[in-house]
Amino acid sequence: MASIEIRNVTKKFGDLTVVDDVSMSIDDGELMVFVGPSGCGKSTTLRMVAGLETTTAGTIMIGDRDVTRLDPKDRNIAMVFQNYALYAHKSVYGNLAFGLRMRGASKAEIDKRVREAAATLGIDDLLERRPKQLSGGQRQRVALGRALVRDPDAFLLDEPLSNLDAKLRVRMREEIGSLHSRIGTSMIYVTHDQVEAMTLGNRIAVMKDGRLQQVGAPLEVYDNPANQFVASFIGSPEMNQVDARLEAAGSGLRLMGDGFAIDLSTARSAGLSAGADVVLGLRPEHLEVLPDGAEDGVEFRMRVDLVEPMGAQTLLLCREGGTSLRVLISRNDGISRGDRVAMRLGDGRYHLFDAASGTTLKSIGTKVI
């Protein structure tokens, strides 16, 4: 077990910079999730930690060892690959035992550890099979088992669940989570699925175009996204983003947009100044539909364009002028297409981003008293 530190790491393939000056530290026993859209450099960063890719610049530490120039075999890490990468010519037992054999463990030791790991993952009755004779979920377990038997300093997992069907994915996600809390080894988990990131990570690292955007606990990132990209990437359904302008109104400020005007109290607008072009970010779950006939506190009046019942919740697509908003409310069978609804920011939650740079000007992600 050990902490991992990534210091100013850069990776170039020819002229193309795919990882750009990334720094972060992963505490001993922490589960860090790298998340970001396809091609943002998550895998490359992970592979540099594993030693499968050289670094163009920067330093990687595991514990207090500088491993930047070490071969993968000398880093004492275990890795789970997206396509499992099982040894097709070996039995499940042989797959699990391979890493231990390479490290010269005794036969008895190997047997004990393999059987323990197999029991933990529920694959003890598959030990004699070949990878070809296993289902996708079983293969995934074997791949995990191969990492587990080794008792490494850190686990590196690159989209380990992306080849499984939706149901199995959720189950394996839970299993990996509980496995991590049981064994307590540091883990880096790569995914492009923000739900996986939110549910699994102790902290998440959001990447885009090779740059680290934000590192933080999942809810911290959800409540206080560092910029427009993080705000839209984390959270589902995606955050609404609407162009607006800040204008002075009395003692406070007013957000003016196409089809809406919102008065911001001084408490809610501290630190902002009038005259700026901004993007208003509203999470669908933070909009509140007001009862019919409400007058007080109405901030939006919109027409319902689409109603998507999702079971416990209902997703509305509302439009007014050039503005459209997705609104997630508790199940409400009384609203139908074409209705007009009055809404406001629930508990006053909203985000403001600078229209030009996308950086966050203000985030009120939790309830304002």
Partner 1 sequence: MRANFPKLGSKLGYGALLALTVIYSVFPIYWMINTSFREPSTIYTAIEFFPSAFTWENFSTLLELTDYPTWFANSVIVALGTVAVTIVLSVLIAYAVTRLQFRGKTLVIGTMLYAYMFPPLLLAIPLATLFVRIGLSDTLLSLVISHTTLALPLGVWLLWGFFKQIPHDVEEAAMVDGCSRLRAFVLVVLPLTLPGIVTVAIFAFLLSWTDYVFALVMVSSDVNKTLPVGLDTMVGLYELRWGELMAGSTLIALPLFVMFTFLSRFFIRGLAAGAVKG
Ligand X SMILES: Nc1ncnc2c1ncn2[C@@H]1O[C@H](COP(=O)(O)OP(=O)(O)OP(=O)(O)O)[C@@H](O)[C@H]1O
Residues lying near partner 1 in the complex (CB under 8 A) are found at 50-52, 71-73, 75, 77-79, 81-89, 98-99, 102-103, 146, 150
Q: Which is nearer to partner 1, 159 or 299 (CB)?
A: 159
Place of tokens 């364009």: 305
Tokens in use for 118?
A: 């197999």
The listed partner (partner 1, Mg ion, ligand X, none) that binds 13, CB under 5 to 8 Å by sort, is ligand X
Peptide bond into 237 cis (omega under 30): yes
Of 4 and 242, the one with the shorter C-beta distance to ligand X is: 4
Q: Alpha helices, DSSP H only, in the chain?
A: 42-50, 92-102, 107-121, 136-148, 166-183, 194-200, 218-223, 228-233, 266-269
Q: Which residue lies nearest ligand X, judged by its C-beta?
A: 43
Q: Establish if 44 lies at the interface with ligand X (CB under 6 A).
A: yes
Binding at 86: pick from partner 1, Mg ion, ligand X, none (beta carbon under 5-8 Å per type): partner 1
Contacted by 315, from ligand X, partner 1, Mg ion, none: CB < 5 to 8 Å by type: none
Binding to Mg ion, residues 196-255 (CB under 5 A): none
What number of helices (H) and strands (E) belong to the chain? 9, 21
Q: What number of other Cβ atoms are within 10 A of residue 57's Cβ?
A: 14
Cβ-based burial of 282 (10 A; exposed 0-12, middle 13-18, buried ≥19): buried
Residues in region 14-43 near Mg ion by CB under 5 A: 43
How many C-beta atoms surround the C-beta of residue 202 within 10 A? Answer: 17
Q: Give the shortest CB-138-to-partner 1 separation in angstroms.
A: 17
DSSP 197-244: HHHH-SEEEEEETTEEEEEE-HHHHHHS-SBHHHHHHSSSSPPEEEEE
**Dihedral pair phi/psi, residue 123, rounded to 5°:** -120, 20
Q: Which does 77 bind (CB under 5 to 8 A by kind): partner 1, Mg ion, ligand X, none?
A: partner 1
* 13 lies in the site for ligand X, by CB under 6 A: yes
- The piece of 39-47, 91-99, 243-251, 293-301 that touches ligand X (CB under 6 A) is 39-47
Q: Smallest distance from the beta carbon of 80 to partner 1, in angstroms?
A: 9
Judged by CB under 6 A, the stretch of 35-43, 197-205, 230-238, 304-312 that binds ligand X is: 35-43
Point out which residues bind ligand X (CB under 6 A). 13, 18, 36, 38-44, 192
Point out which residues bind Mg ion (CB under 5 A). 43
